[in-house]
C-alpha cells in the first residue's frame, strides 16, 4: 500500500524527530513541518538501538509508544528523512493513531543490540529513565 501525497506527509514521530530532539533541530523541522499534537501509538514496543529508538509493531494494545503527529511541509526534507530512516533499516508503515491513518517508521524485527524502553517514551528515556531501567 503506497501512501498518497497528502497522507504521506502525516507521520507519527517518536524519537529524534520529536520537537526539541536532535534530528528535529538538524532538519529544521520547526519551519519545515507542522506539529499536529501529541499522540500514542498502540500495539508497538520501543527499543534503544544505540543513540536512537526503534519501534516494532506487536499488535498488543497494552504496549504503547509516545510521540507526536507531524505534517511535513517540505517534500524535499521528507525525502531526505525517509532516505535516512531507510538506510538505518526502517520501513514506512501505515498505522492507526487516534482514529487516523498516519505513517510510522518501524523495524520488522528487534535488532540484537536493542534495549527495551518500558515506558515507550524516548524523551523520558533520554532524560534519565535509561539509568533506572538498565
The pLDDT tens digits for 24-43 are: 999 999 999 999 999 999 99
Quote the CA–CA distance of 84 and 76 in Å, as a whole number: 13
Residue 71, Cβ neighbours under 10 Å: how many? Answer: 15
| DSSP collapsed to 3 states, the chain | CCCCHHHHCEEEECCCCCCCCHHHHHCCHHHHEEEEEEEEEECEEEEECCCCEEEEECCCCCCEEEEEEEEECCHHHHHHHHHHHHHCCCEEEEEEECCEEEEEEECCCCCCCCEEECCCCHHHHHHHHHHHHC
pTM score of the predicted model? 0.87
Which pLDDT tens digit goes with each residue over 100-124? 999 999 998 888 889 999 999 999 9
Whole-number average pLDDT of the chain? 89
Cβ(23)–Cβ(16) below 8 Å: yes
Q: Which domains are assigned to the chain?
A: 5-108 (3.10.490.10)
Amino acid at each position: 500500500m503506497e501512501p498518497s501525497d497528502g497522507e504521506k506527509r502525516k507521520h507519527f514521530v517518536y524519537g529524534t524527530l520529536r520537537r526539541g530532539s536532535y534530528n528535529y533541530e538538524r532538519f529544521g523541522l520547526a519551519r519545515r513541518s507542522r506539529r499536529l499534537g501529541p499522540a500514542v501509538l498502540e500495539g508497538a514496543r520501543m527499543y534503544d538501538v544505540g543513540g536512537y529508538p526503534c519501534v516494532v509493531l506487536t499488535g498488543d494494545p497494552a504496549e504503547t509508544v509516545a510521540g507526536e503527529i507531524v505534517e511535513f511541509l517540505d517534500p524535499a526534507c521528507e525525502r531526505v528523512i525517509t532516505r535516512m530512516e531507510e538506510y538505518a533499516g526502517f520501513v514506512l508503515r501505515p498505522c492507526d493513531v487516534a482514529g487516523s491513518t498516519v505513517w510510522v517508521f518501524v523495524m520488522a524485527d528487534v535488532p540484537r543490540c536493542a534495549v527495551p524502553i518500558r515506558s515507550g517514551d524516548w524523551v523520558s528515556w533520554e532524560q534519565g529513565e535509561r539509568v533506572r531501567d538498565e
